[in-house]
Structure 1
């Protein structure tokens, strides 16, 4: 894994790492896979593509890993995918919905767990319409890189599919990755007085933006994609986070599902871990990869691990949806869970309830 363990996105990478490790520890405690102990090798890339590329080559060439799991972010996916393809090494469950990892037809060595940004933004656009917000009343706050562009372009496509052709003319403010310099982005949006702002960023700049924006736009809805880092966003904002909407690509960790119960139990073993959405995503990814390793046999190789994952059909891991990685899309889940921050916790969102408030 190459992920952000330092810098403004470190909580996202740390939670992804903790979720994978919690699963691996559970498996190892029961004898591993075919007697083999699972080990996660992790390098910090600080959410910077150049460092991620170096880490990918080190993981594959020097550490000789069987697969790479849980890399964080669209900018890093842009450099990870070609290396995985070149080295014929599985890149599984990257923590991003970026389209670059979802080509048609799908590629052998790239398999995703989570819903794509196109799917998340489609849910947001439909939801805002249900809440009584017209397309022309939407604006965007995005990271100025491949991540921000991927989420923004997904929303523009969703708007076009809904019949609105003027998406590209809607106000858009941007900020530089790994900074909280959001003032210029806010200045771009204030005069438009949008009723909803779709945010495609990480938690620190999004929190800084929301705090400033609410002084000028107190009645605006602030809606973010899952990759923001839900729990750290809530911590950054504290009481100022009330009413923030975040789409999720896993169910709430408190959900009464067999898998979420196992996850909570696994995370409780280490007092330094946090049982949040991102950690659950890592845990789910590791559970699925473990099943692929079982199918790969007692002497796995990169090719047999990739084959093993692709051989999984309608696997039930207690998540409430059948797991089939090789479903024609190389994406395990297509589901999105909208949530709203209330009293410091994320609750399931019914978009029509917002219409009553507005």
Structure 2
């Protein structure tokens, strides 16, 4: 009789166990509805490209617990009604486990108020808005919140002796909370908002705002605006002779500004950044990101801060799936996210708990040089 050595039985058993584990492996579908065309298309597509970069990397390594990741996306063109319609369609057609990478204050607000997240028991991980959002169940940010950005800008300005500030912001349901938070920050830091101006939501119509600030003459203006609106404001304000220092929140990415503005118009503009720089290797996350970009070859869009943020959102989703083990689910996603306590993604910490769903406090200011490049 043929004798089989013990190590052979162990190998066969190991392969059988592995096969049983992989048999239960799932394809994790992540759904994004975002502006892939329109005013904010550059950022929407970059965010998507960042997520896809990391998912591809994980899939090539065999996935997580055998689970692999697929990103499906739909264009809303920056229109709120298309955000909701696109989300409903992807929920029906693709059965995603999680939503990610949404854009726009109105779009995210409508998604939450529609009750769709609760009805479908699905979480949103990663979004970009120009308002201070309340912490609500099922909605997870992978970046510092807008209050942290305004604090960082105001503290810097007061430090250099600038305390008469203007505030540019987008109209909408969240505008009152934004203004109140900004005024709160000014009281704490010793600065004052001497002029406020808004522009219609979903547009770049900033002419009236330019007129307000030209009349008020603040020393610096904080722009809580989309990239398109911020670019339009800088262009028109500088052309009108406006001399205030200009500080933008992270939604006004340098990639969009540089396409529209001259180097002279961009010089000295400062932007609050909520992720490490994707342009230099200053930490483990940035190195990993740059290595992944290099291996990927041709990308759909240029490297940007929005792409880095999408990459971070994908890392958070993958970590949540890892924590759910062999049987990840929509219902298990919030608990997995809430279990993250200062998870180190490579020098960038993410942490959630019930009632606190802004995952990071990281904010730094980047200033645009005379050649249109970022210097920290």
Shift of 1:290: 0.3
Alignment of structure 1 residues 220-231 onto 2, 5 Å: 220-231=244-255
Corresponding residue for 2:273?
Answer: 248
Q: Distance in 1 between matches of 2:362 and 2:354?
A: 15
Normalising to structure 2: TM-score of the pair? 0.83
Does residue 86 in structure 1 map to residue 119 in structure 2? yes
Match of 1:69 among 94, 100, 107: 100
Q: Distance in 2 between matches of 1:179 and 1:322?
A: 34
Match of 1:301 among 329, 335, 343: 329
Does residue 99 in structure 1 map to residue 132 in structure 2? yes
Alignment of structure 1 residues 267-346 onto 2, 5 Å: 267-268=293-294, 269-272=296-299, 273-318=301-346, 320-326=347-353, 329-342=356-369, 343-346=371-374
Deviations, residues 285-337 of structure 1 (Å, cap 9, x unaligned): 1111101111122332101222222223342221x144322275122211211
Q: Distance in 1 between matches of 2:224 and 2:349?
A: 29
Distance 1:15 1:146, change over 3 A: farther
Higher strand share: 2
Corresponding residue for 1:353?
Answer: none
Distance 1:27 1:274, change over 3 A: same
Q: Distance in 1 between matches of 2:297 and 2:184?
A: 42
Q: Distance in 2 between matches of 1:217 and 1:152?
A: 26
Normalising to structure 1: TM-score of the pair? 0.87
Match of 2:149 among 91, 95, 120: 120
Task: Please tell me whether Structure 1 or Structure 2 has the larger radius of gyration of its CA atoms.
Answer: 2
Shift of 1:11: 0.8
**Range moving further from structure 2, 247-256 or 263-272:** 263-272
Q: Distance in 2 between matches of 1:25 and 1:282?
A: 13
Corresponding residue for 2:219?
Answer: 195
Q: Distance in 1 between matches of 2:201 and 2:130?
A: 17
Unaligned runs of at least 5 residues, structure 1: 349-358
Q: Distance in 1 between matches of 2:96 and 2:102?
A: 14
Corresponding residue for 1:257?
Answer: 283
**CA contact 1:9–1:178 (8 Å) conserved in 2:** no
Q: Distance in 1 between matches of 2:177 and 2:43?
A: 18
Deviations, residues 116-140 of structure 1 (Å, cap 9, x unaligned): 1111111111111112112xx2112
Instruction: Give the match's secondary structure for 2:102.
Output: coil
Unaligned runs of at least 5 residues, structure 2: 1-31
Instruction: Give the match's secondary structure for 1:293.
Output: helix
